[in-house]
Structure 1
Amino acid sequence: MASSTTDAAPARHQPHEKYERLVAAAQALPRLKVAVAHPCDEASLGAALEAADLGLIAPILVGPRGKILAAASALKADLADLTLVEADHSHDSAAKAVALVQAGEAEALMKGSLHTDELMGAVVRREGGLRTARRLSHCFVMDVPSHDRPLIVTDAAINIAPTLEEKRDIVQNAIDLAHALGVETVRVAIVSAMETVNPKVPSTLDAAALCKMADRSQITGAVLDGPLALDNAIDLGAAAIKRIRSPVAGRANVLVVPNLEAGNMLAKSLTFLAGADAAGIVLGARVPIILTSRADSRLTRLASCAVASLFAAAQRAAKPLPEV
């Protein structure tokens, strides 16, 4: 899924083509061993089973046996060949899924039909969790049909109002993900409402500081620029009108937003107004965490599993993050 390097105006691309390439790339890898926490409804269990059928994951189902079997019955699915770990309730499912990772029996987590905060509570627990020295953050990998390259949008789901220090980790997590997805030149736009530094707009000050942190190798693996408004981050014409000379402006493949509200609205605007798909993954823990929603399309769920598989493969080849 290499990033385009052309300066030509992007043409409209076929819906889902970027995700289809992701899934194909992940299918070439060994199946990712995934602890699926509380897959007790048809949507969450069905997503795990379909990802397994396509050779993306080897799921370990963690939850109340009766509820999982009832969901399987509704799907007319046979679980005979799968491992099922009994849990009493959703909190227990989350704890036991995390324990499977700690024991080396799973390489990733997947959210089932439990609340996100239940799963993440087990992940960030100081005793028995999966924390590292890196701040956890969420990335949407977005397939926008009208855009020639995939866009990583971060953070739209975990960090509500991140500090500068937390934004440094958010940026580095996204850069690591982009490299795992095969992006050759990672171009990070620190997005704000404007492209000039304004002391009255804190996000522009953070953007300037993050760029200087990259200059000093506190952030590595990418070219950063900011503050940039959204239009001149992703559109070469808009950048030219503003006379912005930058290797990032107009060609960003990672968009770092000021806060969760901005990220959530950006991601949903792209989804509901531009027909984009949004695969979701949490990074910064010992393993990738697949966050799916009941509203996600089939391909989005599969793409989330593919993203986790590609990231886990890159993580295995790299030095693991230090634990805390």
Structure 2
Amino acid sequence: MNISRKTLIFFIIVVLSLKAQSQQTAEKFNRELRYLLYLPEGYSTDNSQRWPLMIFLHGSGESGTDLNKVKMHGPPALVEKGKKFPFIIVSPQSDGRFGWDPNELYYLLASLKEKYKVDKSRIYLTGLSMGGYGSWKFASTFPGEFAAIIPICGGGDTATAWKLRHIAVWAFHGAKDDVVLPEESKRMVKAVRYTNPSARLTIYPEANHNSWTEAYNTDSLYEWMLSKKKFMYKENPVKKEVLDELSGTYVSRRDTLVISPLEGKLQVKINRSNSVILRPASDSLFFINEEEPVDVEFIKKGKQRSLIVNADSRDEFRKLP
């Protein structure tokens, strides 16, 4: 069969075109997150010391690309006026398009822990207005990172408030706030108190939206904050009779857990090949890792026993007779 020169050239062009279309190249997308950094006196003189870290999230008015705008309010404004703090302060700037993204902030925090001499047991989060909302959301998304949070004139999702059960909380709001109503903070603190009764709320009776000036000018706020350390579970021995009583088969709509005592702890078999060890914090509360906010609560109502797994969600399992 004879193939004309034009046909051959056309065929080669088509093949090369298809090859070009099928090639893939490795590319990278970087999203820049700029921040103000304050280092306390003495930071550079002792390489062995680790320092508390405060992350401050600004309000919507300070968003953009001009980092100097972040100095308008809160701890950055106080630093600009000469106030000294005994901890690191990092104040990132949102570009204003997406507000505060917890995942982006988490990557920032991971970088800060590697780059600076941070005491990982004393990491604190605060923010005002949009930053108040961001504080509630960031903390409830990554509750294992923080010792305390200070949300000011913000609000959040009460359905996730239980995740803050091990974090010290002190919220602030102005009673006359007509931008973010004080009910927003009241709802969140009320929800947090179901699992964290020590959560605090201060309402300034004469303050409007700018309740942050009075809050951040209160020295006792920083004393309270610095007294808090990240929660860690502590293992406490329980009697064999308790472990025997908790053992058995527990079911939910989707899963089955088989629990049995093992050397003073509980072994949970999820399936034939996977199991975890639960360590006792008390007769009714067990955990896996002392630093991770994941635990199992055993509950008894009358003769019915059940358990709740507190992890990314709260999942209840009922014990079979």
Regarding TM over 0.5, the answer is no
Higher fraction of strand: 2
Select the structure with the greater relative contact order (CA < 8 A; seq sep ≥ 6).
Answer: 1
TM-score, normalised to structure 1, is 0.27
Normalising by structure 2, we get a TM-score of 0.27
Structure with more of its chain in helix, by fraction = 1
Q: Which has the larger radius of gyration?
A: 2
